[in-house]
Amino acid sequence: MSIATPFLEMSQAIVDAGGEALKKCYQCGTCTGTCPWTPITHFNIRMLVRMSQLGLEGIEDNMWGCSTCKFCVDRCPRGVEIIDLVRAIRSVYSMGGMLPQSLRAFVGSMSARGNPWSGDQEKRNDWAKGKYPLYTADKEYLNWTCCTSAFDPRNVHVAKATAALLDAAGLSWGLPSTAVNCCGESLSKVGDSELFERLKTNNLQFFDNNEVKKMIVASPHCLDTFTKQYGRDYKVIHLSELLADLIKAGKLTPKKDLGGIKVTYHDPCYLGRHNQVYDAPREVLQAIPGIDFIEMGRNREQSMCCGGGGGGLWMEKMKGERLSDLRIEEALATGATVLATACPYCITMFEDSVRTLNAEDKIKIKDVAELLLESLDINVAEPVADVCTTS
């Protein structure tokens, strides 16, 4: 399908892509009532579903707003898989070359370089500076570094903290080679299924060739994609769950008192609502001496979305239309000086909001793993494991 695709053909393609899910919707509007975007933007999910049912023109103005947070899916009385529907409708446009301008650089980088950050794949492991081993079949865990942690200068600190913690716990682990690429989660959500499949096939080759059985992921988006869209029988564990287990087993013992800092926690949508991991990150935080833990009003199943999912990380948003700004304000209202989370997308969105709100002196954004590392007082520059090269 191309830009010149006749309207009727396009309408039919949308109705076909929506399939049975479109027929189930009886337009109650519960989805729009629960969607976090409703109070701050014109995006209206009920209207999107209605327009899709009728194959109406103009749908493209209303279909890129969803950040796939899953609020509405959990409340829809008809069990409509709204995110699958959004993805299917987007795919009609995406596969027809009709992506919004702000998504084109991201998709282009995925296609040309295999990651969304325009990073040189050969430099994917440069953050490790040759100090950590590559994964081989005799190791217990593949420590999968998300592209955002590998290439984004802020999130690279989470990659380093993760490596230091795994070494401190004495685990047998290794990094993927530079032959792997992005898990493809955002691509899948913006509807580019062909490119997603290409990246997936490449990663599966690495997993299969290296007999990967257990994988650690710091990104809930990688967690969701590897467990639900890759179709392989390996164990994938989110870093926060592993850290909570290691603390319980006595393999990591937070000792250093962090001095009574007030910390609140943001549940990432893809860790919480999508994968029901709510307790583990809180257990890690509460095991750290000198943390005064405080919940925000909206937490766990009710947690706000940061706006970074569903391709949102790559889309321009006007001031006043950013969920991450609202979440920072909620965190500040608790009196917390640290907003902890467990997702590289959330970290990126919140760091951006802290800057635009001029709140750098009031609140810091940290991954749970970074706080745990502070409490262990390990020197990140001196890894505990045998020194091996990464390439």
Applying CB under 6 A, the residues found at the interface with ligand SF4 are: 25-31, 34-35, 37, 45-46, 49, 66-72, 76, 78, 80, 82-83
Cα distances (angstroms) measured from residue 168 to each of 131, 253, 331, 368: 14, 10, 31, 16
Shortest spacing between CB 268 and ligand SF4, in angstroms: 13
Q: Which is nearer to ligand SF4, 66 or 328 (CB)?
A: 66
Q: Which is nearer to ligand SF4, 64 or 127 (CB)?
A: 64
Shortest spacing between CB 210 and ligand SF4, in angstroms: 35
Tokens of 51: 């327009």
Shortest spacing between CB 233 and ligand SF4, in angstroms: 29
Contact 300, 271 (CB under 8 A): no
Shortest spacing between CB 182 and ligand SF4, in angstroms: 22
Sheet holding 214-217, edge to edge: 173-174, 141-144, 214-217, 235-238
Burial of 250 (0-12, 13-18, 19+ CB in 10 A): exposed
Shortest spacing between CB 149 and ligand SF4, in angstroms: 24
Q: Which is nearer to ligand SF4, 81 or 283 (CB)?
A: 81
- Cα–Cα distance measured from residue 19 to residue 85, given in angstroms and rounded to the nearest whole number: 8
- Using only C-alpha atoms, what is the Rg of the chain? 21
- Cα–Cα distance measured from residue 297 to residue 101, given in angstroms and rounded to the nearest whole number: 36
Q: Which is nearer to ligand SF4, 281 or 312 (CB)?
A: 312
Q: Which amino acid is at 365?
A: I
Contact 353, 365 (CB under 8 A): no
Shortest spacing between CB 2 and ligand SF4, in angstroms: 28
**225: enclosing H helix or E strand:** helix 220-228
- Cα–Cα distance measured from residue 226 to residue 73, given in angstroms and rounded to the nearest whole number: 21
Contact 251, 140 (CB under 8 A): no
Shortest spacing between CB 163 and ligand SF4, in angstroms: 33
Q: Which is nearer to ligand SF4, 68 or 181 (CB)?
A: 68
Q: Which is nearer to ligand SF4, 31 or 371 (CB)?
A: 31
Q: Which is nearer to ligand SF4, 35 or 134 (CB)?
A: 35
Q: Which is nearer to ligand SF4, 79 or 250 (CB)?
A: 79
Shortest spacing between CB 293 and ligand SF4, in angstroms: 27
For 151, residues 6+ apart whose C-beta sits below 8 A from its C-beta are 115, 117, 119, 123, 124
Looking at the DSSP bridge assignments, the partners of residue 134 are: 175
In which residue are the tokens 């430099």 written? 123
Looking at the DSSP bridge assignments, the partners of residue 341 are: 367
